[in-house]
Amino acid sequence: MAKNFIYGIGVSEGKEGAAAAAEAAKKALAALKGKMPTISHIYFTDDYDPQAVSNGLKAVLKDSEFIGGTADSVFHNDNVMFRGIVVVSIYSEYMHVGIASTDNASKDPETIAEKTVKEAIGKVHIDKYVDPYLLFTRMKQTHLSWMLKLPSFYVMVFTRGLKLPIMGDEAKIIKGLSNVIGLQIPVWGGSFGNKTEKVETGQPYEITMLHSGKIMKDGLIIAVTSTSLLYANSMESGCSPTEKCGFISEVANNGFVVTKISNMDVADWYAEQLGMKKEEFLKSTRILTQLHPLGIPDKLGNYMIRGGGIYMGKGLAYVAPFQKGWPVYLMDGNAKNLLTASAKLRDNVDDYVHDASPSVTFVTQCVTRKLVLQKEQKKELQMLRKSLGNSDIVGFGAFGETGAKQGQQCSFEHVTLNVFCMYDKLMKDLKQ
């Protein structure tokens, strides 16, 4: 029985948007036993009219805050839906959330991110009695290093993913956030999207985001939380570096297109590394660059992954930018390697949160993992849930993931499994 926070999860695969949204929201609210949600998360596929979904949610969630958007797929535990709606409602007197959103975010992503996070911070309502007491108690009962290690604040950021000719610009959004909150506050989230098949075949599509009745097509949603609850976040791809490497020697379109690696045409370089003719590589560029993504090493032994390059006639186009001069390693991203991500996530989380299992875990699973895992997409979610102690997991197939390993600075990546764990424990009660 939850003591410090309660949550409810509702799922609907109904055909009509308003009815399906209302059904899922009612199921989620039922677990809150009459409490008004502190925040609700909404993930849905693009099979529904967004206005109808918003109307159905408003009818049930009333004036409580909800945020969300469209995705390639949505899931609860191992139930993966390519048509459906998931609603997660959370209540706790130990978390205070300020939410701000904006449309037309692509006009000036960095500046708009700065403005939006400032607005969200201004909406965080601190309990002037309970929160200082809990902070005092935490300082009195736990080691100071634990307070430094896990801040009492975190940020969730949801962005509009790639919709050509407009890029997602998530890196600029992260820069805007860091200009305001610095680099040490944990940031977790992902990019909403649509069916990957539409992207790959050039079909028209929209990416819709919702915030408490507001509907956005070029949106940015930022939720700033002050909390005394225990939480943990981590990100992992499972990809393994090979000994084949090079450097980004030429880019175009502000870094979103790589034209040369190690002074070679990028397609020639890739074909040479893979031991095949260029013509063979060009026939299967999308899947080959997914199975063998590029990894950009950092100073901590991690690799920032860029996968799924699209051949543009001259160069490979990516959802996130590269910079000239970056070293890159050819990574091994086969299904066997990807399926190691769950155990690595657990180990990273356990380094922070010993002997504790989350109650609910939010997950963004990169849509490009689906291309490699195929039918094992469901298996990965089953493995993740087991690794985390059989907590509820909820989330969506993302067009990119914003996050980091526990305790490290956030970045925008691909091909990752990205988690945010919430626990029925107060920070003051965990001894470190």
Using H for helix, E for strand and C for coil, what is the string for 266-281? HHHHHHHHHCCCHHHH
Per-residue pLDDT band at 354 (split at 50, 70, 90) = confident
315-342 pLDDT, tens digit per residue, is 999 888 899 999 999 999 999 999 999 9
Q: Report yes or no on whether pTM surpasses 0.85.
A: yes
164: left (phi over 0), alpha (psi -120 to 50) or beta: beta
CA distance 235 to 186: 12
pLDDT at 432: 59
> Which pLDDT band, with edges at 50, 70 and 90, does 205 fall under?
very high
Residue 194: count of CB within 10 angstroms of its CB: 25
Which of 390, 338, 364 has its CA nearest to residue 157? Answer: 364
Per-residue model confidence as pLDDT tens digits over 186-201: 999 999 999 988 877 7
Length of the chain: 432
Peptide bond into 165 cis (omega under 30): yes
CA dist 227 and 198 (Å) reads: 39
What is the pLDDT averaged over residues 257-269?
97
55-113 pLDDT, tens digit per residue, is: 999 999 999 999 999 999 999 998 999 999 999 999 999 999 999 999 999 999 999 99
